[in-house]
Amino acid sequence: MINAAPPLTIATYTTLLLAVLGLWYGRKVWVPMSALAIVFGYASGVLTGAAAAWLVLMAGCCAFYLRFRAPATPFGRLAKAIAAFGVLACGILLGTHSLPGFHNFLVAREVTISPGATPYTLYLNFDKTMVGILIIGVLRIPLICTARASASALTRAAPVLLATVALAIAGALALGYVRFDAKWHELFWIWAPANLLMTCLSEEAFFRGFLQREIRAALAERRYAEPLAIGIAAAAFGAAHLAGGPAYAALATLAGAGYGYAYARTGRLEMAMLTHFAVNATHFLLFTYPRAA
């Protein structure tokens, strides 16, 4: 059963999604929309207490990191390391819902989507989404601005996307994690935009837009820089999914390598997001979701 949201909760998540979309239009859109989402969040009860303070801290860490991204002195290098730790710590704590003050809306609880599957619960995660918004917005991660750039990036990303979907699904089938189960479920209409614009955006911003990108920059022109950055970010992505078990973490690592390669090959975070979403949507629509019981 899908839960009906009160009007103020709808306003909270509508403005949050407008903040996400505003990232492609600049600070004049994403900043006021984020602020308005926070106001509606407190009015609706999605946010309470120190929630805004945690978001300000995350934004401050990102701004501090941006200030010292290219340090020229030992003090600058120390400041950059401290700022990077702050971004990582705040991103992890917000992304894992470990900080108080966030009451993410429960869309559906323990829904059976596939026969013989474990029940599925869906939340709209305000805290995790803000991680993606702040990393992309404050750190000024470049995004696609023209149709020509989109076409070029899609052309380069398409083989990686298809290979990642094939390998991730093949691995899941081999491990008995899923079975073939083509279906349509009414939850998809909410799941799809939430997965793309909340889950994929925030995870790709953190693991590829920040972690992989900054590791690659730190290694400069070393021959192994690109594969090492992809591998570290993919391993971290897999570790973040250990709660689902070692098989799930291994699959996430494999998929994360594909997302990382899509980002490295195109230089566009959107292509990592699209590859990530393609894997998730294929899983939802054509195979046991979320996993075989």
Q: pLDDT (tens digit, 9 = 90+) per residue, 235-268? A: 999 999 999 899 999 999 999 999 999 999 999 9
Q: Answer for the pair 200, 280: CB distance below 8 angstroms, yes or no.
A: yes
Tokens of 42: 């407190």
Q: pLDDT (tens digit, 9 = 90+) per residue, 132-181? A: 999 999 999 999 999 999 999 999 999 999 999 999 999 999 999 999 99
Tokens of 24: 């492609």
The separation between the first and the last C-alpha atoms of the chain, rounded to the nearest angstrom, is: 20
- Tell which phi-psi region holds residue 181, choosing left (phi > 0), alpha (psi between -120 and 50) or beta: beta
Which residue in this structure is represented by tokens 């730790």? 85
Residue 230 to residue 260: CA distance in whole angstroms: 5
With a cut of 90, say whether residue 70 has pLDDT above it: no
